[in-house]
A and B are shown apart, each in its own frame.
Chain A
Amino acid sequence: MIELTINDQVYKVPPGRTILEACREFGIPIRTLCYHPALEPYGGCRLCMVEIAQPGRKPRLATACTYPCEAGLLVWTDSQRVKTSRRLTAELLLATATGAPEIEALARQLGVTTVRYCLPESDACVLCGLCVRACQEIVGVSAIGMIRRGIAKEVSPPFQVASATCIGCGTCVMICPTGVLTLEQITDYHSPHRQLRDGQEVYLDCELCAPQRRMGP
């Protein structure tokens, strides 16, 4: 067992846990957005930021979802520095996703009162990458990915052409925190897996989509 200090209290955790997993276990709240327990941690949204200090070293910020528990580590989940970082990150998130009620609510909770800079064009996608990772790690087809970089980055099927590898399982839509993603943006309706016949959706069986269909709506 590893012993570490979270918010001035000593805890024991088995090795291999991240700070976030440990905190969740002990009921210490940490806001997350791009984290999902079924997926590999990503560290992109920077909302789960905590302040950490290794013994004898200067405190710094780190994402709780990716940082492993280390022996003797000091962790603060709610220090002033953490609060400021979360608030500013939320402000920036809101700048890219004006009009997404989920992000507005989140920003309000984290103390954002005004957004000092807004992107001229924004939709509700916050590029948390959950859809892309779910499609890759859980569904295993990688029908969507990220294209371009920086502020122009977006989620898209390869070459921005409706994907023929999409099996129409809807995992990406279900996991999207802002509800901006729709299956129509991704799926190629001419794919052999998912077809429209007489106005009815017809699924053709394959080893990947058949179990999804049996689980059914």
Chain B
Amino acid sequence: MNRTTHATHDSQAVETGWLRLADIAAFQHWSAELTQAWDESRPCVKVCDGTGCRALGSQKVLSGLRAACQKADLPIPLEIVGTGCPGFCECGPLLTIYPQKISYQKIKPNDVKEIVERTLVGGEIIERLLYTDPLTGEHIHREPDLPFYNKQLRQVLDFNGRIDPTRIEEYVALGGYRALVKALSELEPKQVIDEVKAAGLRGRGGAGFSTGLKWEIARQNIRRTGTGYIICNADEGDPGAFMDRSVMEGNPHSVIEGMLIGAYALGIQDGYVYIRAEYPLAVQNLQTAISQAEEIGLLGEDILGTGFTFHLRVRLGAGAFVCGEETALMASIEGRIGEPRPRPPYPAESGLWGQPTVINNVETWANVPLVIQRGSAAYAAVGTEKSKGTKIFSVVGKINNTGLVEVPMGITLREIIEDIGGGIPNGKRFKAAQLGGPSGGCVPVEHLDVPIDYESLSQLGAIMGSGGMVVADEDTCMVDFARYFMNFTQEESCGKCVPCRVGTKAMLATLERICAGYGEPGDLDYLLEMGQHVRDSSLCGLGQTAPNPVLSTLRYFRDEYEAHILEHRCPAHVCKGLITYSVIAELCTGCMVCLRNCPSDAITGAKQQVHAIDPLRCNRCGMCQSVCKFDAISVN
């Protein structure tokens, strides 16, 4: 069980040959042993091996590093660990050298040799790989000093970036599965539910329903029927959202432990994780984690000799957004078409295969061990009166520090955007942030100081959602922004009910017309009326929330819609039907670069003569503007 014997551990392989933990005492002994052996100050190199960094080449960095370290003459043997995503995706691949916690960023495979020679062997810091503060221009050496992490409160994401997610020992060494053992040995099932209720934990999937209350209702039904299911909804599908993916990739055991505690509290023996097949690494890490937990006796029959049995199965989804809706998700698990059905009956009453079912999303399950381990009072100390704990957001779009952030509830949007997110790139101005993905709404600049909690956000017409945050700057056209999300929900509508199937299509067609410059004065009333109708009359949450991006942009940016329709003008110069490119005669040097690059041969002119753009041939691709070195192309 000694950690150091696995120094060259391959993340693909699953450890075998463990002894099954016979009882709680055996677990406690093992856990204490691992914790004692865990030494945060031992020298090692941790490289983010999450999907984001992998896309940027972290696997080549990892293999290069392992090879180079074997060859190099290192003062002490060095462990090289591939970890889950710590969140700073903008600067990936990320590499942290322990014990000093030197943080190197945007590592390329070519940098590996230099890192080994200069830093690992020579003990010298390579300045060009450090994070540079955009404001002060200073290099920041240590990971904890990065402003990106400073204002975060990392509870759920705490182990991401610290442990190898494919090794159960590392999770246990840091206190993993102790919440389960606490529940099994000290708490009655009802007390577990009371704790979750008292902690004020609310569903992190969107609606924010009280998790404890949901469990309590389900438990009554389960006692009646004698059987039921719990499901982890890992069908994260919002554009630009990757919170749940990162939790499952970086810390899958926290989700398993949460589900175990839930199963114990509810008296359930079977659970499912419904995860989309587009998340191969998350699926792989989760399956590794499940088989490790089964082998060691933390999952399966007679867990730790307590008589408690829980089987967890993984079901892969084919990527339909609507399958994130709980009734559609259950239909999909049952092998039917992923279509929602009307509620009632609610899943807590009649869910999977007609049995009482509790569905929570990944982040909610991952919060459960924290509630039990720390106790409801300590958990509830973080957050606002009605929204407790932390929330993970994936901050994307027009923002400097794209990535995953975990913040305490009640933090203001401004702090997330400006302090953690590092503000808007290229000195542009912030315009709005879309919260809750295609089901949510936007928060404009005048409400930047809104505290992040369920109630405040819904008052503004946005939602907490599962935590997607898309930032728009002054160059974003809000009509086009709404059109983008409408296009998404329209394509993802299952088509079962009329308002969602046809209503979203009708709204999208109207938005497309407005963006193309053919908007009519009645269009806004139509969008409002139809938006309200789709929201009111659709069958499931997808349709009921689909008009939100349109309704909220109409609420805050009506002037932009009006400019498109009444003045035939796109204020942000985005909508192609409403912009024209022209040459500024005073600035044009007649270099012919734009002329040669124009894909539709719309530019005429000769050397050292002012060029001209034929608006009829121009396809508004913007190529001329991006290649012109003299800023001689204007858009109107």
Contacts and interface: CB of A to CB of B under 8 A. Distances in A.
B341 A43 contact: yes
Contacts of B498: 44-46, 89, 92-93, 126
A68 interface: yes
Interface stretch (B292-300, B417-425, B486-494): B486-494
Interface stretch (A145-153, A176-184, A186-194): A145-153
Contact of A96 (B494, B502, B533): B502
B526 A116 contact: yes
B497 interface: yes
Contact of B506 (A62, A63, A92): A92
Nearest to A151: B505
Kindly state the interface size class of chain A when it binds its partner: 35 or more
B497 A46 contact: yes
A145 to B, nearest CB: 8
A79 interface: no
Interface string A67-94: 1100000000000010011001100110
Contacts of B538: 46
A62 B502 CA distance: 19
A153 B501 contact: yes
Contact of B502 (A60, A67, A92, A129): A92
State the main secondary structure of chain A at its contact with B.
mixed
Contacts of B503: 88, 92
Nearest to B494: A149
Contact of A150 (B337, B341, B495, B526): B495
Interface string B334-377: 00010001101000000000000000000000000000000000
A66 B342 contact: yes
Contacts of A85: 533, 536-537
A154 B510 CA distance: 24
Contacts of B342: 41, 43, 62-63, 66-67
Interface string B118-156: 000000000000000000000000000000000000000
B496 interface: yes
Contacts of A61: 536-537
A119 B539 contact: no
Contact of A44 (B490, B493, B496, B530): B496
Contacts of B559: none
Interface residues of B, number: 33
Nearest to B490: A150
A150 B506 contact: no
Given A44-B539, A116-B526, A117-B510, A88 B496 contact: no
B508 to A, nearest CB: 9
Given A43-B341, A43-B497, A146-B337, A119 B505 contact: yes
B499 interface: yes
Interface string B312-329: 000000001010000000
B529 interface: yes
Interface in A26-75: 41-46, 49, 60-63, 66-68
Interface string A136-172: 0000000001101111110000000000000000000
B509 interface: yes
B529 A88 contact: yes
B537 A89 contact: yes
A27 to B, nearest CB: 25
Given A88-B533, A92-B506, A95-B506, A149 B344 contact: no
A95 B502 CA distance: 8
A127 interface: yes
Contact of B497 (A44, A96, A116, A151): A44
A68 B342 CA distance: 11
Contacts of B502: 92-93, 95-96, 119, 151
B537 A127 contact: no
A85 B320 CA distance: 28
Which of A41, A67, A150 counts the most chain B CB atoms within 10 A?
A: A150
B334 to A, nearest CB: 14
A111 B533 CA distance: 16
Contacts of A81: 536
A150 B533 contact: no
Contacts of B529: 88
Given A44-B539, A46-B539, A96-B502, A153 B495 contact: yes
A41 to B, nearest CB: 8
Given A63-B342, A92-B503, A119-B505, A151 B495 contact: yes
B497 A45 contact: yes
A23 B493 CA distance: 31
Which of B320, B342, B502, B530 counts the most chain A CB atoms within 10 A?
A: B502
Contacts of A119: 502, 505
B501 A127 contact: yes
Contacts of B505: 117, 119, 150-151
Which of A41, A42, A88, A129 counts the most chain B CB atoms within 10 A?
A: A88
A95 B501 CA distance: 11
A153 B530 CA distance: 21
Contacts of A116: 506, 522, 526
Nearest to B502: A92
Contacts of A150: 490-495, 501, 504-505
B150 to A, nearest CB: 42
Q: Give the 8 A-B residue pairs with the shortest CB-CB distance, closest first.
A: A153-B495, A92-B502, A117-B506, A66-B342, A43-B342, A150-B493, A88-B533, A150-B495
Interface of A: 41-46, 49, 60-63, 66-68, 81, 84-85, 88-89, 92-93, 95-96, 116-117, 119, 126-127, 129, 145-146, 148-153
6 contacts: A43-B539, A46-B539, A85-B536, A96-B501, A129-B496, A150-B494
